[in-house]
Structure 1
Amino acid sequence: ERPAEAEAEAEGRRPELVGAARDPPPEDGREGGDGEALHVAKRRKVLCSEFAAIAGSDAAVARRFLAGSDWHMERALNAYFESPLETEGAAVGAGSGSCIDLTADATTSNAGVNSADPGQKEDDSSFSLITWNIDGLDIGNLKERARGVCRYLALYNPDVVFLQEVIPPHLCLLQMKAGSYTIIPGNMDEYFTVIMLKKSRVKVLKHEIIPFPTTAMKRNLLVVHVNISGNELCLMTSHLESTKNHSKERTKQLQIVLDRMQKESESTTVIFGGDTNLRDSEVAKLGDLPKNVMDIWEFLGKPQHCRYTWDTQSNTNLNAAYKCKMRFDRVYFRPAAEGGNIIPRSMDLIGLEKLDCGRFPSDHWGVLCNFDVIL
């Protein structure tokens, strides 16, 4: 969404990235004494642990890439993930010709990146979801930004991913890098949506694409039925019609989404997430959401740290002359009738740090949602 005029809402504080390892300033190796040398050694040990957790490598591989990148975390990860397949395969013990998987063995928590344990059993008591418009229509720094998105997916290791503004090169990258996910596109031409489902957690039952009959922008609704931890879910994503001038069409599309959410079986939990481009006034015109459908951000008490997902004041990708803060990216939830098996727990924003190219992965922040599963 790139409106032609500012549509400022109330100020909201900018959140900090939760769970991401912070990069220290590069070290020049000129330590001035034993105390400083000990501090540097400890800091480098921590960096090695963080690198190993993200990359799924051992400490020796981590130290090699970090040392070769002047102990700069992002550059080291770039070098690791972009090195030849044979080198990476040998480094992580993969067989010859195996798929490079950015998402393998990377686990996180709100406290930081945990140590990877390849034999660790999946936690059936929760699951995570990311929805993100990754701005494939912006060709500037496209490769760097696409790799940045992949690194965030590797870092957070979500069970479910909704992506919008995906372009064919993105899809090829995801298919090559994210081998532990089932990848379902909503189209294959120009730009489209994608749902990614972690194979070890999510059993895919069926999927369908529901066209929006009067769209001028080739928008649709991608629907996937799955089973997670013994619970049936209907997962939906869309990129609703863009710009203020298309408010009427966007509202019609929202009504189609809400109708479909309500028509799903009462035994099924329904989650919709995506770039809705919605203004609160447009939802109000429909008479607000149905009683059995909740806006997760509102359900969690309207936390200000994740209110604005499209913020031209904090996000400089567009170099916009106007400053505008909007909650375009939303997640809706309709619980199963017997209720209580799946409960939204938290929401945070991701993608808040600039890449080495000086730009953010997207002009939108990503939205990370965590859910509790009552077993």
Structure 2
Amino acid sequence: MEQVWAVEESPGIKTTSCTTDRKEGGDNAPASKENPAVCTDDAGNPSEEEEENTNKLSLISWNVDGLDPEEQPARARGLCSYIISHSPDVVLLQELIQPYTRFMKKRLADDYTFIEGGKEGYFVGMMLKKSRITLLDSEMVEFPSSRQGRNLLVAQVVFRGQKLCLMTSHFESCKANAENRKLQLRLVMKRMTKAPDDVTVLFGGDTNLRDAEVVDVGLPGCVCDVWEQLGEPEQCRYTWDTFANTNLDHRHKSRFRFDRLYLRRAAGDGVPWLQPDSMALIGLEKLRCGLYTSDHWGVYCTFSAL
């Protein structure tokens, strides 16, 4: 019999964030269903502020650690609460398992299109807000070098008339697999650079990359690391931090920027550019069960079309 996880909201949602244009008040706070950023004039028409927010693309990328059996129902509920609170246009998830996807579909299928990168074990997945993102096509790209069954999930979508190629992956884990990770990064960069000029490409995922490995591979000139583009904010640096995140009792503490976002802007004439606006880490408070939603922090990012 399929286990049923009861619905329960997590405690207050907290983020640590940075923006390219720091302002007081709501501009730096992500919109939520409970507090939507919608304004109209006296005639009920959208205001300039609403139009500006409507043109922003919001995204969450998160390794949700579905492999950890501890408090899975509570952590899945916490994940749903973050998605509902932030209401992102795109959700890129890693280490999904079937109980998680079944539970999320029950709560969120009316609002999101789900794409799963597998059915057995653990896998990556995407969620696309139906009211904002139109899915055209999707595919799985196998990593020939993978020892851990890792792959790349690719989706062709349209956002407000703009063509986007969305990608997510979970690169090979552990220090010993550095060479495989570098091969996987090269494959992703090749896919990003080969996309048509009128398509904007966004990759987000748990890369398990160390900085030296990225230096060894090098990023193409047309691809930027979104965190670096935003000025390398220290408060968003470490997405894997066993000093702060106590879900797993690691004897040796470490901090890494495993979870990364890469952007290749469209280059066609008259095609809008996506410009990173803000980045925040989410999942920073413990749930009522005493654990964090995941052993990774999630990454929440917004972009403007220029």
- Where does structure 1 differ by over 4 angstroms across 4 or more consecutive aligned residues? 111-114, 116-123
Output the amino acid matched with 1:17. Answer: T
Residue 4 of structure 1: aligned partner = none
Distance 1:135 1:241, change over 3 A: same
In 2, are the aligned partners of 1:283 and 1:289 still within 8 Å (CA)?
yes
Residues 109 and 256 of structure 1: is their aligned pair in 2 closer, same or farther, counting only changes over 3 Å? same
Quote the RMSD (CA, aligned, Å): 2.1
Matched, 1:364 2:296: yes
Partner SS state of residue 15, structure 2? coil
User: Does residue 235 in structure 1 map to residue 166 in structure 2?
Assistant: yes
Task: Quote how far apart the aligned CAs of 1:112 are.
Answer: 7.7
TM-score, normalised by the number of residues in structure 2: 0.84
1:334-345 superposed matches below 5 A: 334-338=264-268, 340-345=272-277
SS of the residue corresponding to residue 259 of structure 1 reads helix
Q: Does 1:155 align with 2:94?
A: no
| Cα distance in 2, alignment partners of residues 112 and 256 from structure 1 | 35
Inter-CA distance 298–119: structure 2 relative to 1 (3 Å threshold): closer
CA contact (8 A) 2:90 2:126 kept: yes
Equivalent residues in 2 for 1:273-352, closer than 5 Å:
273-286=204-217, 288-338=218-268, 340-352=272-284
Q: Do the aligned residues in 1 keep the contact of 2:242 with 2:253 (CA within 8 Å)?
A: yes
- State the aligned residue count: 271
Q: Give 1 or 2: higher strand fraction.
A: 2
8 Å CA contact 2:114–2:125 kept in 1: the answer is yes
CA gap 1:313/1:267 in 2 versus in 1, 3 angstroms: same
Q: Which has the higher contact order (CA 8 A, sep 6+)?
A: 2
Q: 2:35 aligns with which of 115, 119, 132?
A: 115
Residue 139 of structure 2 is matched in structure 1 by 208
Using the TM superposition, give the Cα deviation of residue 118 of structure 1 relative to its aligned residue in structure 2, in angstroms. Answer: 9.7
Distance, in Å, in 2 between the alignment partners of 1:224 and 1:329 is: 19
Query: What secondary structure sits across from 1:364 in the alignment?
Result: coil
| Contact 1:223–1:237 under 8 Å retained in 2 | yes
**Counterpart code for 2:195:** E
Q: Give the Å deviation of 1:353.
A: 0.3
Structure-2 separation of matches of 1:238 and 1:343: 22
Specify which of 9, 15, 23 is matched with residue 17 of structure 1: 15
**Contact 1:270–1:335 (Cα < 8 Å) also in 2:** yes
Gaps of 5+ in 2: 1-13, 18-25, 41-45
Q: If you compute each CA radius of gyration, which structure gives the higher value, 1 or 2?
A: 1
Render the CA deviation track for 1:17-40: whole Å, top value 9, x for unaligned: 259xxxxxxxxxxxxxxxxxxxxx
What is the TM-score of this pair, normalised by structure 1? Answer: 0.69
**Correspondence 1:138 to 2:68:** yes
Task: State percent identity of aligned pairs.
Answer: 47
Q: Secondary structure at the match of 1:227?
A: strand
Aligned partners of 2:145 and 2:241: how far apart in 1? 29
- In terms of fraction of residues, the more helix-rich structure is 1
Secondary structure of 1:187's partner?
Answer: coil
What is the identity, as a one-letter code, of the residue corresponding to 2:140? I
